[in-house]
Chains A and B, each alone.
Chain A
Amino acid sequence: MQANPIKTNKKLSINNSIITYKSNIFLIINFNKDSTMFVINQLAVLTALLSYVLGSNLEHDGSVTIRLQQALVFEQFPVWSERGNITIQSLRLGQATVDQKPLSLEEQKLLRDLAARNSYYQIKSIVTSNDGSERTFVSSVKACMLAESELDDRLSVSIDYMGRVIGVTLVVASNSACEGIIVPLEKLKFFNTVVYVRHSETGPIPDTASFIQKIEREKEAKEKGETKDNRSFLAKYWMYIIPLLIFMAISSASNPEAPQGQ
């Protein structure tokens, strides 16, 4: 009997991203329309994300600090530089204070180049929870999208039912990948980051109570006897009367010929 070799339990699958570039004239004409849509959708993101905050069901509240680092050159083994700190005082309420330093001119140029090469901007979040445990997460966004949004990004901090952070993802709200706009450098200075703490919803349970109520109500109604239908005669039987009328109208329209023929 030989010993079983160590197996790697890794699930197999594929994901292909669909990447498109919209840079033709048609879209530039349409751009204004698109940008209004964009605002609407941003609002939608806000409301959608807020609904998660309100649906909090955490048993113990906690606080979390996140040290954010960024990589302005997309590499296989990136070099991280400090971006700022985020403190979430209350996971339950999702309150966060964001403290980020502005990008230096050099960094701005790096970001612009990254965007021009259709490359990725990466962040690394080092999450320290109040029991002292530390977890790090990497997240990437398309640099061009970050640039086009003028550094207006969102940080989604997902927590599980116990309040443990399971993922930190950087997102840029937009309804298409990249538009191909050239953004002036001065707009790439200050990050406008909104942090969303995203709770795990309480899963639904079978709604037996209301179903039993419904059945009982039906039973009661049956016992009480038929409820009076106090609609007028026409309102009740219009579906029978109209076809009859139509039929009569047709037959009377074709009838007059008959006596003529005789």
Chain B
Amino acid sequence: MAKFEKLLLKITLIIIHLHYSFAIYEDQVGKFDWKRSFIGKTKFAEFESKRIIVVTDENVLASLNANNGQIVWRQVLETPKDNTVKLLYIDRDIYTINGALNGWIVRGWDIMTGSLVTEWSIPTEKMDISEFLVLDGRLVNIVPIVGSHLEISTYYLSTGELIGKTSKISTPWLTDASNCIFAKSYYICISSNDYSGQLYYIDFLYKSDKLNTKSLQGFLEDLLGPVYILRVNSDRPAFLLASRSTVKLIEIENDNLVVKNYDISTTPFIAKNEEQQILYQLEASSNPEKLINVVTKDYTTGEELSRIDLEYPVGLGAPTIVASSSKKHNSFLLLSTSDNALLLVKLPEGKVHWTREEALSDIVATEFFELPVSELDASIENEFKTNSNNIINMLVHRLTTQAKQLSNLIFGSQLLSDSGLVRDKFGFHKLIVVATRIGKLFALDTISGSIAWSYRLPNVKPFNILDEDKMLLFIQRTARYAPLPAQCMLLAEDLITGDSIVFQFDPITGYSKNGIEKLNVKIAQAILLPHEDENQLKAVLLLSSNNDALVYPSSAKSLVFKHIKHTHIYLSDSANGILKGFNFYHSTEDDFKLTPTWEMKFYPSKLVSVNVKHPNERVHSQGRVLPDRSVYYKYVNPNLISVATVSEDPIHKHVLSIYLVDGITGLVMYSASHKRAKGPIHVVHSENWLVYSYFNERFRRTEVVSAELYEGHVQSNSTVFSSHAVSVLPHVQTQSYILPANPVKFAVTLTEKGITNKFLLIALSTGAVIEIPWLLLQPRFNDIPCGPEESCIPYMPEIPLSSEAIINYNQTLYRIKGIEVAPARLESTSHILVHGLDMFYTRVAPSKTFDVLKEDFDHLMIVLVLTGLIAASYITKYLASKKTLKQLWK
């Protein structure tokens, strides 16, 4: 019997675990999730039969299908943080060279499959810039050493064997390597960026002893302004000399300079046709509809061969040509734009074949938007909303709206419902507005993953907040208030001045009334205030770097003033390790003044994370019911800030400290320190708990700690919470776990009412996003038994990571930068967007979809059963009455 009981216990435990693993079935793949893969801004590209081989700034090597621009294969190389790709060379295989100053890796890849064929490295001790080129199938490595010499090494490309010895060419004239270029076997320099400079060029491979010198004055007409030397892609040794007004293409023929005497742009592209060398360049057109011309010139004579109007899409940035392929009658140009898009243009038609929006590979802000109700629903709502109480007016109002509804029904309604951007019953259909690093805004449809609209903001950059690049999106008004459109605000920095810019737009259509507005101040803090004005618009409070407060829009100032005295704010100064609290008690109607109320000084520790709870989060249950039926009340302080600091320590190497600070009074509610713990630190702060992870240097593993705050068995004030009234310090329960993986990002699910269980989402460096139920991490009480009867999972030091818990199943996501969460209108479900190099959207239901029927629910069966039962009851009733009648006659 004992054996049986043990078995029973094990089965229940297994069931509990199974309950929290939510794998999907094979036929559900792609049903409510989508993935978009990106490669980043194109750096080098080359056509290779029907493929385009691309290397990007994100250090991604990819093969694109030339017909539709889709990725055939993709290889993600080292992170671009301290590693750059220097060369792409295509022979029978593809060769790439990437690395940092002290070491370069040469890799050969198979063209068809993208699999790695060879790999060898070039170790260098010197911290100098290396340049690479391939000449006659050999790899040449040039290391210019300023003021001294050039070091030239030649290798066999496929094996990495050094040919001969590293040669040194004396170049005492070399002053600045950025003023030098190489073209074929020539190394060309200008001695200074003005007209008094000299032009030096040397054939480092074949005639390394012969230095040629020319004065710059002979080449360019105007004698003012700086002069630059630029590379050009050509089969021959050629380069560009550019000044402010003129650009000259110069070719080296037998050590002599030949100047091409025709007009040329700074970014020409030289390609080889069947017969001749031709030169493509892009010029602005006077045609207002087709803004860009492709001009084709003969390379030798400079004769203009053709001038084609490009059907260039509106909204894309300025393009440059990165690759071309010429066939008999038509040729293709691959363009890369200033907003990181990649497009293929077909000539001579001038049509855009396809476009890839590579800006989406670097997202810096995300927000989910509910769609507006359909026009019919809106008019029904409007029907009962009248301003007057007059019967006749009301009648007229109802009749006109009903007439409108009728006409809509007959003639079809307009815009919104046509595009399908209409709210659905469960809130699954939303728009995700994302802002990208390059300054392009996109709205993505959650159902299809397609781009609903995009908007390019030139010259903007993200803020740098605690070593993370971020822009800020504020939802000022949701789409709930029809006919008023939804409104959203983007806050970013100007690329040149560093001042802040505001961009206000309708997130559903992408329409902006005012465009970009410059604020002419640097912004240190921005807050969306919860108070709505008569148009249901929320104001944003901005704090400049010298603590002046602004209200945006400025018309909301009087509304904000009403509440400002009860508004508290905190500022964190990560450079000095200071956290400060302020209120606005001394504000006047025109001038919002900050009054410091508390401060904390962590110096010399470094602030690594400052976190607050999600502003839209709701805590549904006030306490936790213990097995003895008593309630243990949660400490739910909405003003709690979690702070993580790391300090360098001579004995313990790194010490991580975690603080929970009340944002109104500055009182430390809880603090803990971990010795020999270093970053990356990830913190998730929700409800009455905190989860953080760090790397334990002593055991060389990642550990996750959960801390939960409770008030105790008595709630100090059940009606209203005030940070000022400190009656009991929270009881803190903690528990620590080992995470057998390397996490890159943490997030927690968010649902509309907070009834559903919470799931932690952890993005791992392997490219998986795993969901872990909070119940698994929740600290266990020491004195209370834990088992299936108490619906408690016994403590296990290692967090089990089952492959069923990976929400992106087998779709690896590279370089995950963020996980964004938003509630659906259905309580059970949250929207999840994971972004990085890839973008993955899915919906998760932590407590399973308890509020909706399963999609495989058999409607037909239940109808049949019900009708069968009803019919049977009537038939039996009839038969029974017949029988009783018969019996009575007996």
Interfacial residues, chain A to chain B (CB-CB below 8 A): 2, 4-20, 38, 40-42, 44-45, 48-49, 74-76, 119-120, 122, 135, 137-142, 145, 156, 158, 160-162, 166-167, 169, 171-177, 198-208, 211, 226-227, 229, 236
Give the 7 A-B residue pairs with the shortest CB-CB distance, closest first.
A5-B498, A15-B663, A175-B727, A41-B727, A161-B673, A48-B729, A203-B674
> How far apart are A78's CB and chain B's nearest CB, in angstroms?
9
- Whether the Cβ atoms of B2 and A227 lie closer than 8 Å is yes
The docked-state distance in angstroms from the alpha carbon of A173 to that of B645 is 29
B870 interfacial contact with A, CB 8 Å = no
B711-751 CB contacts (< 8 Å) to partner A? 712, 714, 716-717, 720-729, 731-732, 734-738
B598 interfacial contact with A, CB 8 Å = yes
- Whether the Cβ atoms of B657 and A160 lie closer than 8 Å is yes
Can you report 8 A-B residue pairs in the complex whose CB atoms are below 8 A from each other?
A: A9-B574, A11-B465, A19-B724, A41-B727, A74-B586, A137-B600, A161-B673, A227-B2
Q: Contacts of B312 on A, CB cut-off 8 Å?
A: none
- Whether the Cβ atoms of B575 and A9 lie closer than 8 Å is yes
Stretch at the interface among B524-532, B617-625, B757-765: B524-532
The docked-state distance in angstroms from the alpha carbon of A99 to that of B291 is 79
- Whether the Cβ atoms of B2 and A45 lie closer than 8 Å is no
B181 interfacial contact with A, CB 8 Å = no
The docked-state distance in angstroms from the alpha carbon of A78 to that of B599 is 15
Q: Contacts of A6 on B, CB cut-off 8 Å?
A: 498
By CB atoms of chain B within 10 A, which of A122, A177, A229 has the most?
A: A177
B675 interfacial contact with A, CB 8 Å = yes
- Whether the Cβ atoms of A167 and B672 lie closer than 8 Å is no
The docked-state distance in angstroms from the alpha carbon of A9 to that of B607 is 10
Q: Contacts of B185 on A, CB cut-off 8 Å?
A: none
- Whether the Cβ atoms of A41 and B595 lie closer than 8 Å is no
Q: A11-B466, A138-B597 are in contact. Are A202 and B703 (CB under 8 A)?
A: no
- Whether the Cβ atoms of A206 and B566 lie closer than 8 Å is no
Q: Contacts of B670 on A, CB cut-off 8 Å?
A: 201
CB-nearest residue of chain A to B720: A20
Q: Contacts of A204 on B, CB cut-off 8 Å?
A: 672, 705, 734-736
- Whether the Cβ atoms of B601 and A226 lie closer than 8 Å is no
The docked-state distance in angstroms from the alpha carbon of A166 to that of B605 is 10
Q: Contacts of A138 on B, CB cut-off 8 Å?
A: 596-599
Q: Contacts of A162 on B, CB cut-off 8 Å?
A: 647, 649
Q: Contacts of B725 on A, CB cut-off 8 Å?
A: 145, 174-177
The docked-state distance in angstroms from the alpha carbon of A6 to that of B610 is 21
Q: A138-B599, A139-B598, A174-B726 are in contact. Are A158 and B668 (CB under 8 A)?
A: yes
B583-617 CB contacts (< 8 Å) to partner A? 583, 585-586, 593-602, 605, 610, 612, 615
> How far apart are B657's CB and chain A's nearest CB, in angstroms?
6
B658 interfacial contact with A, CB 8 Å = yes
Q: How large is the interface on B (under 10, 10 to 19, 20 to 34, 35 or more residues)?
A: 35 or more
The docked-state distance in angstroms from the alpha carbon of A229 to that of B677 is 48
CB-nearest residue of chain B to A160: B657
The docked-state distance in angstroms from the alpha carbon of A169 to that of B600 is 9
The docked-state distance in angstroms from the alpha carbon of A171 to that of B726 is 7
CB-nearest residue of chain A to B586: A76
Q: Contacts of A202 on B, CB cut-off 8 Å?
A: 672-674
Q: Contacts of A156 on B, CB cut-off 8 Å?
A: 667-668
Q: Contacts of B567 on A, CB cut-off 8 Å?
A: 14, 16-17
Q: Contacts of B714 on A, CB cut-off 8 Å?
A: 40
By CB atoms of chain B within 10 A, which of A120, A139, A166, A205 has the most?
A: A166
- Whether the Cβ atoms of A172 and B726 lie closer than 8 Å is yes
The docked-state distance in angstroms from the alpha carbon of A15 to that of B638 is 8
Q: Contacts of A226 on B, CB cut-off 8 Å?
A: 2-3
- Whether the Cβ atoms of A11 and B735 lie closer than 8 Å is no
B497 interfacial contact with A, CB 8 Å = yes
By CB atoms of chain A within 10 A, which of B593, B656, B677, B795 has the most?
A: B795
Q: Contacts of A19 on B, CB cut-off 8 Å?
A: 566, 722, 724
B635-672 CB contacts (< 8 Å) to partner A? 638-639, 641, 645, 647, 649, 655-659, 661, 663-668, 670-672
The docked-state distance in angstroms from the alpha carbon of A199 to that of B657 is 11
- Whether the Cβ atoms of A166 and B724 lie closer than 8 Å is no
Q: A15-B569, A206-B703 are in contact. Are A140 and B667 (CB under 8 A)?
A: no
- Whether the Cβ atoms of B610 and A11 lie closer than 8 Å is yes
Q: A139-B665, A158-B668, A160-B605 are in contact. Are A200 and B727 (CB under 8 A)?
A: no
Q: A7-B464, A12-B525 are in contact. Are A161 and B657 (CB under 8 A)?
A: yes
The docked-state distance in angstroms from the alpha carbon of A40 to that of B736 is 32
B272 interfacial contact with A, CB 8 Å = no
B503-543 CB contacts (< 8 Å) to partner A? 522, 524-530
Q: A7-B463, A9-B465 are in contact. Are A14 and B657 (CB under 8 A)?
A: no
CB-nearest residue of chain B to A174: B725
The docked-state distance in angstroms from the alpha carbon of A199 to that of B655 is 15
- Whether the Cβ atoms of B728 and A45 lie closer than 8 Å is yes
> How far apart are A206's CB and chain B's nearest CB, in angstroms?
4
CB-nearest residue of chain B to A231: B1
- Whether the Cβ atoms of B666 and A17 lie closer than 8 Å is no
By CB atoms of chain B within 10 A, which of A5, A9, A137, A160 has the most?
A: A9
The docked-state distance in angstroms from the alpha carbon of A76 to that of B594 is 7
A18 interface neighbour in B3, B598, B615, B722, Cβ under 8 Å: B722
The docked-state distance in angstroms from the alpha carbon of A229 to that of B585 is 71
Known A-B contacts: A13-B570, A161-B655, A176-B717. Give 12 more (CB < 8 A). A12-B472, A14-B569, A74-B585, A158-B671, A162-B649, A171-B665, A171-B667, A203-B673, A203-B674, A203-B677, A206-B703, A206-B797
B758-799 CB contacts (< 8 Å) to partner A? 795-798
- Whether the Cβ atoms of A10 and B666 lie closer than 8 Å is no
The docked-state distance in angstroms from the alpha carbon of A202 to that of B658 is 10
The docked-state distance in angstroms from the alpha carbon of A74 to that of B597 is 10
- Whether the Cβ atoms of B728 and A44 lie closer than 8 Å is yes
- Whether the Cβ atoms of B797 and A2 lie closer than 8 Å is no
Q: Contacts of A229 on B, CB cut-off 8 Å?
A: 1-2
CB-nearest residue of chain B to A137: B599
Q: Contacts of B472 on A, CB cut-off 8 Å?
A: 12
Q: Contacts of B798 on A, CB cut-off 8 Å?
A: 206
- Whether the Cβ atoms of B673 and A139 lie closer than 8 Å is no
The docked-state distance in angstroms from the alpha carbon of A50 to that of B602 is 24
B863 interfacial contact with A, CB 8 Å = no
The docked-state distance in angstroms from the alpha carbon of A172 to that of B667 is 11
- Whether the Cβ atoms of B722 and A9 lie closer than 8 Å is no
The docked-state distance in angstroms from the alpha carbon of A14 to that of B594 is 14
The docked-state distance in angstroms from the alpha carbon of A10 to that of B545 is 9
B727 interface neighbour in A2, A4, A174, Cβ under 8 Å: A174
CB-nearest residue of chain A to B656: A203
The docked-state distance in angstroms from the alpha carbon of A236 to that of B731 is 39
CB-nearest residue of chain A to B604: A164
B571 interfacial contact with A, CB 8 Å = yes
The docked-state distance in angstroms from the alpha carbon of A214 to that of B612 is 38
A169 interface neighbour in B566, B657, B666, B703, Cβ under 8 Å: B666
- Whether the Cβ atoms of A14 and B529 lie closer than 8 Å is yes
Q: Contacts of B600 on A, CB cut-off 8 Å?
A: 137, 158, 166-167
B572 interfacial contact with A, CB 8 Å = yes
CB-nearest residue of chain B to A145: B724
By CB atoms of chain A within 10 A, which of B566, B567, B601, B795 has the most?
A: B601
Q: Contacts of B720 on A, CB cut-off 8 Å?
A: 18, 20, 176
The docked-state distance in angstroms from the alpha carbon of A17 to that of B637 is 10
Q: A5-B498, A135-B601 are in contact. Are A12 and B575 (CB under 8 A)?
A: no
The docked-state distance in angstroms from the alpha carbon of A12 to that of B542 is 10
A167 interface neighbour in B464, B668, B735, Cβ under 8 Å: B668
Q: Contacts of B583 on A, CB cut-off 8 Å?
A: 120
The docked-state distance in angstroms from the alpha carbon of A44 to that of B731 is 11
Q: Contacts of A74 on B, CB cut-off 8 Å?
A: 585-586, 595
B682 interfacial contact with A, CB 8 Å = no
The docked-state distance in angstroms from the alpha carbon of A18 to that of B723 is 8
Q: Contacts of A145 on B, CB cut-off 8 Å?
A: 724-725
- Whether the Cβ atoms of B724 and A177 lie closer than 8 Å is yes
The docked-state distance in angstroms from the alpha carbon of A14 to that of B560 is 14
The docked-state distance in angstroms from the alpha carbon of A20 to that of B599 is 24
B496 interfacial contact with A, CB 8 Å = yes
